[in-house]
């Protein structure tokens, strides 16, 4: 029983460690503070929802997050975070 509880706690640990998305310049990100990378996401962090209603969104390649003063590199765009936008309306700067 004790072993089962330990395994269950280890399973839940990553879920507890996941922070809420942060907003920088109107774009929402999941930040990885250890690697200083960011994934574009929606505000809720849930698929099939969107936080973006503008007709055009610009995603910078790097940005400074005021919360910790660190520079983050954008490495990915999360699944379905732009569900209701057309691909031609999304621009990523090199």
Answer yes or no: are the C-beta atoms of 42 and 30 closer than 8 Å.
no
Question: What pLDDT shows up at residue 16?
Answer: 41
At residue 38, does pLDDT exceed 90? yes
pLDDT at 20: 85
pTM assigned to the model? 0.65
pLDDT at site 32: 96
14 vs 64, higher pLDDT? 64
Quick one: pLDDT at residue 34?
A: 95
Q: 58 — phi, psi (to 5°)?
A: -110, 125
Whole-Å CA distances, 73 to 13, 41, 69, 79, 85: 25, 14, 13, 18, 23
């Amino acid at each position: 029983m004790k072993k089962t509880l330990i395994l269950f706690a280890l399973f839940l640990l990553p879920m507890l460690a996941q922070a809420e998305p942060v907003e920088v310049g109107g774009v929402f990100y999941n930040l990885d503070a250890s690697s200083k990378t960011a994934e574009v996401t929606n505000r809720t962090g849930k698929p099939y929802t969107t936080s973006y209603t503008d007709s055009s969104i610009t995603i910078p390649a790097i940005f400074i997050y005021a919360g910790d003063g660190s520079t983050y590199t954008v490495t990915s765009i999360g699944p379905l975070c732009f569900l209701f936008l057309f691909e031609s309306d999304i621009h990523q700067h090199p």
